[in-house]
Structure formats: C-alpha cells, structure tokens
Chain A
Amino acid sequence: MSKDLIITQQNTINKQAAIKKAWSIIRAFIFIEISFVLIYPLLYTLSVAFRPPAQLNDPVVVWIPKNLTLSNITEVWDFIEFPKLIVNTITIDVVSAILQTAICCIIAYGFARFRFKERSFLFALVIVTIVLPPQIVSIANFIQYKTMGILDTPLAFYLPAITGNGIRSGLFIFIYRQFFVNMPADLEDAAYIDGCGPFKTFLKIMLPNAMGAVTIVFLFSIVWYWNDTFYSGMYLQDLQTISTALETLKSNLSVMLPGIQADQFTISCYMQAGVILTIAPVLILYIALQKYFTESIVRTGLVG
C-alpha cells in the first residue's frame, strides 16, 4: 500500500520535471525567435555600414562583407559635422530630458498624494495633453514662439520641459503618479509624525523610494528627445540636432555627393552609417544604465 503511494508520488514528480523541462525549451525557442526579430535590423545596419558600397550588389555577400571598412562612417562623420551636431543635441535634448525627468516627478507627487478640489479636473487636463496629437497645438505654438523670440534657441525646448509640458511630459506624469499612488501611506505618515514637512518628506522619503521610476522616465525622456524630429524640425530650423540631420541625410547626399559617388549603393551604405552614428550614443547610455535599470525594476517594481 505504502509502496504504491511512493511509486505514484515518484511518477508525479517525474511528470512535473518533464513538463518543466519541455516548458523551458519552448520558452527558449520563443525568446530566440523574438530576439532575432528584434536584432535583425540592427545586424543589417551593422553589416551594411561597415562594408564597401560595391559589395552591396555582390550576390556572394549577404551578411558578412569580404572586407570591413570604416570609410562610410568617417565620410558621414565629416559630411554631417558630427561633433557640432553632438554638442547641439546634448545642449538641447539631454538638458531638456533632465529638466523634464525632475519636474514631472514633483508634479506627479502633487497629483498622487494630496487631496484638493480641482485635482481630478487638472489631472484630466494632463490626460488631454497626453492624448491630443502634437500637431493640434504645434502651428499655434510655432507662431507664439516666433513672437516671443525664442524660436531657434534652446529655450523653445527648455521652457516647456521645465514646466512639465515637453515631449510626452503628460505620460511621464501619468507613470510617476501610478507609481506614487500605490506607495504605502505608512511611509508618509511616519515622516509627518516625525515632523517632516511635505517637501522634506518628498525629498527624503518618497524620492529615494522612487528611483526606479526616475530611471525609467529618464531613459524614456532622453530617447524621445534624442529621436525627435517633429518639434526640432519645426522650432529649431537653424539648430540641427542629430535626428533632424539624419532625416535630411538622404536628400542631402543625393544632391551634394560628387557624381561618381552618388549611386544607390553608396547612399545606402552612408545612410546606415548615419543610423549607427545616431543611435550609438543612446545605445551606449542604455547599456551603461541597463544593469541599474533592470535591477531597479526588480527591486522596487513599477507598480501601477
């Protein structure tokens, strides 16, 4: 009797182990498939950017070029004046992203942890700023910036960012708010009982606990500012950032390149080199922040 029981138990354990094993294989398969889908265009970019243009038409060369070359990168580097662009992009986009990350956190805290009459109404307005397509205000904003004299200066980006009305600020306020709303009230109450004012409580208690959300918002914010062409193209016509340069690269190349070089394959290679120059800084930042980024999600959780 007891022997039978042990055997059946053994069987169930074996069965469970088998299911677990099969599942891990399926899971590995799914992730390999998805990673491939996601990395494929990057591999393509790398493969094309570092090959001599002539080999783009070579039927023998599909993925791995016969010999690698840096000339595409250096040519494009000079063509778009990369150092100047990077300085522009950092002074405009990175600074705006930092301002936005900080201010949205403060605003969201006000929406999440205090009760006042007009709160719901104002928060509904925040949602409206998220959902309305940017063109609806951009033409009027353009004219307004022109009269204010801040067109073509970084101020056209700083001022909206520092007041929580920059690129996708509403969304960041929303993310931060979701995060703060679900923080336990005990944390705050303890601080109040100890005699901390709301500002001190925010800085000393809530902010350190919100670093996970801060990292996430900071990364999003920098990426969206960096890749923006809509606002930059409109408000900063003389000040080029790296994304607006990339947007016009193709037409500029076809016009400016000397006749012999201006064939389809050279332009294709140069375009991919331009893509690499554009995404490399953000990619490096992402890899640098990556560990802290995932860790902070694991540790604190971005609770909604």
Chain B
Amino acid sequence: MKALIKTKGIESKKAWYGRAFILPWVIGFIPFFLIPLVKSIWYSMGNLIVSDAGLDLIPTGLRNYKKLITEDTEFIPELLTSFQNMIIELLLIMALSVFLGILLNQEFKGRTLVRSVLFLPVIVTSGVVIYILKTDVNANYAMSGVQGQSFIKMTSINDILNSLGLDYKITSIITEAINKIFDLTWKCGVQVLLILGGLQGIPPHFYEAASVEGASGWEKFWKITFPMLTPIILTAMVYTVVDSFTYYGNNLMLNCIKPAFSNFNYSYASAMSIVYSLMVLLVLGLIFVLVGKRVVYTEKFK
C-alpha cells in the first residue's frame, strides 16, 4: 500500500516535469497561433478594412462562406480536383519511397553517393528555386532541344491499354502517373529518408529468425518489414499531405491569398483559407482512421 502511494507520488511529479518540458511550446502557441487563428475566423465573418488608422471590421455573418460556396465558380471545383490529385500522388509517393528506401538499404557500391543525390531536391528546391528552374527549363525546352519537365512520356501506352479494354479514365490515370515520375521523384526525398531510417531500426534478428523458419523474401517483406515500417509510413504520409498542401507552386494555396493582395479583401481570403484548412484536416483525419489503426508499435508507450 505504502509502495503504491509512493509510485503515485513519483508519477505525479514526473507529470509536472513533462509539463515543464512542453511549457515553451504552450507559451508560443497562444500568441503565435491560437490568437491569430481565432482572429482569422473572426475576420472571415465580416468585412475587414485595413487602413492607417487601424482595423475596422464590419460584421456580415456567414456571407463570405455563402459567396464562396454558391457564387464562386472556381474555388470548390478546384478544391475537389486538388483533393483527387493529392490522393493519387500520395499513394504513388508512398509506394515509390518504400521501394527506393528498400533499395537504398541494400549493400552495394556507391550507396552513400546515391543517398546524397536522392536527398538533393530537398536541399535545393524547397521554395522559389524550383519555381525558377521549372519555368526556365520549360521556356528553354523548345530552344535548346533538350527535353525538360518529363523524361518519360508514354502516349502510346494509352493506346495499348485501351486496346486491352481498359476504361479511358483508368488509362489516363496510369499515363498521368508515369508522366509524373519526374515530379514525384523530386518530392519524395524526405519520405525516402524517413523510410530508410525506419528500415535501419528493424532488429536484424527478426530476419535471421525468419530465415531459419524458411521464409521467402516476399514473406519477410509482408510479415516483418512492412509492419515494422507502419509507424514511419504514417509519419511520411502526414508529411506528404502537408507538403503538397503547402507546396510553393500549389495553385490553390496561391488562390487563397490572391483576394488579400489583389483586392485587399482580407475577409474573403480568410474564409477561403479556413475552408481549405478544413479540407486538409479532413484528409488527415481519413488517413489516421484508415492507417492509424493498422500501425504496429514495438514498444507500447501510450
């Protein structure tokens, strides 16, 4: 009984230490995130006029949202298209990252070099640089005769797949995916790194035991590698979604701030970014429901 009380005391003391560790975050969260967030929601329900004299908000209720959904002919369809593209991209990026991660985890000559090269895009191009490179490479495509943007263009594959009796919609998704390989390779540097780190963390004796039991490589992948990777796959998925939604060249993201800068319509811009954010939250919620339950943790610490 006495021991029990003592452990309880230590537990509550430890809890306070935990709170001390996260205190800096709470101090920053309130002024730099929570208050601005509440203000943004407030701004979105009115008409904000910014002048030298200060801020003036004329409340209009939910009119901005109403306008966004019923009158704006571009926003909602664009949101749905970007949602659809994101799901496809997410699956392709994850598959590509797991594949590349496993390849990079094998022993071969020049492994360090390949690893460094794979991570290059993250270093070089997470911003304005990729934008310049892309637009410039495209502009010079015709001039120099060097092929840019997409290296593998397979238009003929469409015909082949169509002749096999596949629906046009499916074949176009497949060719899109192939044409996107360039973009996708550029986007999966971080994910490959995460997967690689995860692979390094799988204890080798798991594989030894499986070999003794006579498991094939395929079985080892599905029974050991994949389950052990699930936590990192979840992390990588969250990263991919967030990255694609906040990507520098993301049209929708630019459209969200357009009203604020072109017409100084801060309120409408706020309403747009709130709807956009709800969308992102919905996608992540879906991922956590669908994938989160299947995640395998080796050491339970919940």
Q: Give A130 Cβ to nearest chain B Cβ, in Å.
A: 6
Task: Mark each residue of chain A from 283 to 304: 1 if its CB lies under 8 Å from any CB of chain B, else 0.
Answer: 1001100110010011011111
The range of chain A's interface size is 35 or more
Q: Known: A106-B21, A115-B11, A243-B127. Is A133-B256 also a contact (CB below 8 A)?
A: yes
Q: Are A181 and B301 closer than 8 Å at their CB atoms?
A: yes
In the assembled complex, the Cα of A268 lies from the Cα of B140 at a distance in Å of: 9
Does A155 touch B at the CB level, under 8 Å? no
Which stretch of A4-12, A69-77, A84-92, A158-166 is in the interface? A158-166
Partner of B193, one of A38, A137, A143, A297: A297
Interchain CB contact under 8 A, B37 and A136? yes
Q: Which of A140, A165, A224, A247 contacts B29 (CB 8 A)?
A: A165
When the two chains form the complex, which single residue of A132, A278, A298 contacts B129, counting CB atoms closer than 8 Å?
A: A278
Contact A163 B193 (CB under 8 A): no
A13 within 8 A of B: no
Q: With A279-B123, A304-B235 as given contacts, are A44 and B133 in contact (CB-CB < 8 Å)?
A: yes
B92 at the binding interface (Cβ < 8 Å): no
- A180 to B19, alpha carbons, bound, how many Å? 16
Residues of A within 8 A of B20 (CB): 110
1/0 contact string of B118-138 vs chain A (CB within 8 Å): 111111111111001100110
- Whether B31 and A131, one on each chain, are in contact in the complex, defined by CB atoms closer than 8 angstroms, is no
Contact A110 B269 (CB under 8 A): no
Given A44-B137, A122-B22, A144-B31: A38 touches B118 (CB 8 Å cut-off): yes
The answer for the CA separation of A122 and B11 in the assembled complex, in Å, is: 19
A294 and B115 within 8 A (CB): yes
- Across the interface, A34 reaches (CB within 8 A) one of B112, B118, B123, B129, namely B118
The complex places the Cα of A228 from the Cα of B256 at a distance, in Å, of 18
Residues of A with C-beta under 8 A to B229: 304
For A165, give its contact among B11, B33, B148, B281 (CB under 8 Å). Answer: B33
B108 touches A24 (CB 8 A): yes
Q: Give the contact-size bracket for chain B.
A: 35 or more
Residues A165 and B124 in contact, CB atoms below 8 Å apart: no
Stretch at the interface among B73-81, B159-167, B195-203, B206-214: B195-203
B256, closest chain A residue (CB): A135
Q: Is the CB of A223 within 8 A of B122?
A: yes
With both chains docked as a complex, state the minimum distance between the C-beta of A188 and any C-beta of chain B, in angstroms: 10
Question: Residue B186 at the A interface, CB < 8 A?
Answer: yes
Q: Of A107, A114, A178, which is within 8 A of B17 by CB?
A: A114
CA–CA, A202 to B136, complex, Å?
Answer: 48
Known: A114-B15, A133-B273. Contact between A160 and B21, CB under 8 A? no
Interface membership of chain B positions 194-234, coded 1 if the CB is closer than 8 angstroms to chain A and 0 otherwise: 10111111000000000000000000000000000101111
Are A290 and B116 also in contact (CB < 8 A) when A116-B15, A223-B122, A224-B126 are? Answer: yes
B299 contacts chain A at the CB level, 8 A cutoff: yes
Q: Which residues of B contact A129 (CB under 8 A)?
A: 29, 33
Q: Which residue of A lies closest to B195 (CB)?
A: A304
Write the chain B residue with the least CB distance to A278: B129
| B25:A126 contact, CB within 8 angstroms | yes
Q: Is the CB of A228 within 8 A of B127?
A: yes
Task: Assess whether A107 is in contact with B35, with CB atoms less than 8 Å apart.
Answer: no
B197 touches A144 (CB 8 A): no
> Is B60 an interface residue, CB under 8 A from the partner?
no
With contacts A181-B301, A229-B127 known, is A131 near B136, CB below 8 A? Answer: no
Q: Which residues of B contact A140 (CB under 8 A)?
A: 35-37, 39-40, 43
A50 on the B face (CB < 8 A): no
Contact partners of A182 in chain B: CB under 8 A: 201, 231, 297-299
A174 to B106, CA, bound (A): 28
B253 interface contact, C-beta 8 A: yes
Are the CB atoms of B124 and A294 closer together than 8 Å? no
Give the contact stretch, choosing among B63-71, B168-176, B238-246.
B238-246
Which of A35, A174, A185, A302 is close to B299, meaning CB atoms less than 8 Å apart?
A: A185
Asked if A246 and B24 sit within 8 Å, CB to CB, the answer is no
Asked if B103 and A27 make an inter-chain contact with CB atoms under 8 angstroms apart, the answer reads yes
Q: Are B25 and A164 in contact (CB under 8 A)?
A: yes
8 residue pairs, one from A and one from B, having the closest CB atoms: A163-B28, A114-B18, A110-B21, A302-B197, A304-B232, A227-B127, A303-B201, A140-B36
Residues of A in contact with B (beta carbons under 8 Å apart) = 24, 27-28, 30-31, 34-42, 44-45, 48, 56-57, 62-63, 103, 106-107, 109-117, 119, 122, 125-141, 143-144, 159-160, 162-165, 171, 173-175, 178, 181-182, 184-185, 197-199, 202, 212, 216, 219-220, 223-224, 227-229, 243, 246-247, 250, 268, 271-272, 274-275, 278-279, 282-283, 286-287, 290-291, 294, 297-298, 300-304
Apart from A159-B32, A287-B116, A304-B231, list 11 A-B contacts with CB within 8 A. A27-B106, A63-B146, A119-B18, A131-B238, A136-B276, A137-B40, A140-B36, A163-B24, A182-B231, A182-B297, A227-B125
Instruction: Pull 5 A–B residue pairs with CB atoms less than 8 Å apart, ordered by A.
Output: A116-B15, A162-B28, A171-B242, A224-B126, A302-B198
